[in-house]
Amino acid sequence: MLDYEISPADAAALLRENKVRFIDVREPWEFATARIEGSVPMPMGDVAARAHQELDPDERLVILCHHGIRSMNVAVWLRGQGFEQAQSLRGGISAWSAEVDPAVKQY
C-alpha cells in the first residue's frame, strides 16, 4: 500500500511520466492565485459530492492544497471510499513551489 503522503519530487516524476492526476482541493481564489498546470480544481467541500462521479478508484491521485493539511484529510477520506492510490502532496503547493517549480507563485 502507498504511503498517505508523497514528496513533491516523487509527485513531479509521476507527473512527467503522465502516471498521476493532481486534484487541487483549495478554494477557487487559491487556485486562481497559483496552480500546478493540469491539476483538477475540486474544492475540499465538493469532494464528497464529486469524487465518485469524476474520479477513477484505480487511478493514481495526488491531492494538494496550500500546505498539505486539507489534502491529507481528503486523501484519508478518499482511501476510506476505495480510492487506494490517493496520496497527499507533502507540504502542498507551497513545497511544490519551493522544491520543484519556483514559477508557481507563493502566497
Active-site residue identified among 65, 78, 86, 93: 65
Burial class (CB in 10 A: 0-12, 13-18, 19+), 14: middle
Residue 29, C-alpha cell as written in the block: 481564489
If DSSP codes are grouped into helix, strand and coil, which group holds residue 22? strand
Measured distance CA(14)–CA(105) in Å, rounded: 21
Active site residue 65: yes
Rounded Cα–Cα distance for residues 94 and 8 (Å): 10
Active site residues: 65
